Chain A
């Protein structure tokens, strides 16, 4: 057994079990599983943010953006919690209402206009992911 396999075997949280199923780069949810989202599908949303909610148990981006067929819709996009997001560079004011952003999301399996954030490109071009990924951490310090 190599060290990556060992790491996976030792995974104990729901998020890590999910990571073992979907691959080692799944984001983290403390609060519920990913099952309602289609983690194999990605949709890109280009639109204007109507609100950014820096709240628990999740942050949300509300955005007006066209769907894949070009029809304008309103979308509710779920992010990790502020705690998790801060570990990958987010701040409470990273996004403001009216910002034009590009979001890559995993859509709801139900087909409703909602999803789970994979990656956000902000107005200044900065790219932020939805919290740290479950990639093996670097070697410990001496």
Chain B
């Protein structure tokens, strides 16, 4: 009897210590009327750029707004089928993301553009300057209680930024990923860039588990009819017959 109680206590503590399993397909969760407010993503913190970066950023936003008034869209990486990279790929329209969790690696796949991230759980992070700049950089993770903390460095400055913000090679993305319920997942994303930002910016993406029979859809951009004209405007190529 005593042994049984000890064993059950041991099992209970082991269960408490085991990290939650995030494996599954997660759709973007937007809340809405009647939704439980505790599952809604909290509002983002302000995006505050250093003045020398803010001025051109605001000018670019104004130019985009002016073009939109004329019925034109200025060239964007997305329109050219260039992937979004970290962290924008975590929230593209309503495209789901898939988490595949093993003890040594968490793999995250976005349905939009079939983007793949690998989060290594068994090794330390490298120095930023030692990581080849790319779209996904280098991600390492650790468990902080029930929260998966992911550290990412090595994002190329030309990769589209959160809200189109500029960023430097010194950008660091820290994510705190946590289940709020068995079917609701939050990814709290903090972007720190000592070159570009006055202070870090934090926003949260909320996800809801997709039905268990959901199958991720492939996304290979082999029929992009959008092109950029000589004035830098996005145009649609039409077929004549």
Which residues in A have some Cβ–Cβ distance to B below 8 Å?
2-4, 6-7, 9-13, 15, 28-33, 35-36, 38, 50, 53, 55-58, 60, 62, 74, 76, 78, 81-84, 86-87, 108-109, 112-114, 132, 135-141
Contact between chains at B73 and A36 (CB < 8 Å): yes
Q: What residues of chain A lie closer than 8 Å to B219, measured between beta carbons?
A: 56-57, 81-83
Contact between chains at A76 and B33 (CB < 8 Å): no
Contact between chains at B226 and A7 (CB < 8 Å): no
**For chain B residues 167-199, which have a beta carbon within 8 Å of chain A?**
183-184
Give the tally of cross-chain contacts (CB within 8 A).
139
Which residue of A11, A53, A141 contacts B223 across the interface (Cβ within 8 Å)?
A: A53
Contact between chains at A13 and B221 (CB < 8 Å): no
Give the secondary structure class of B's interface: loop
Contacts A36-B235, A109-B71; is A132 near B94 (CB within 8 Å)? yes
Give the secondary structure class of A's interface: loop
Which residue of A12, A114, A141 contacts B91 across the interface (Cβ within 8 Å)?
A: A12
Contacts A10-B43, A140-B184; is A32 near B71 (CB within 8 Å)? no
Is there a chain A Cβ closer than 8 Å to B72's Cβ?
yes
Distance of A63 from chain B, by nearest CB (Å): 10
Q: What residues of chain A lie closer than 8 Å to B236, measured between beta carbons?
A: 36, 76, 78, 108, 114
Contact between chains at B217 and A7 (CB < 8 Å): no
A129 to B217, CA, bound (A): 19
Q: What residues of chain A lie closer than 8 Å to B91, measured between beta carbons?
A: 12-13
Q: Identify 16 residue pairs between A and B in the complex whose beta-carbon atoms are under 8 Å apart, listed by A's number.
A: A7-B32, A10-B31, A13-B93, A35-B71, A35-B234, A36-B72, A56-B221, A60-B239, A81-B112, A83-B95, A83-B217, A84-B93, A114-B238, A136-B30, A139-B32, A139-B36
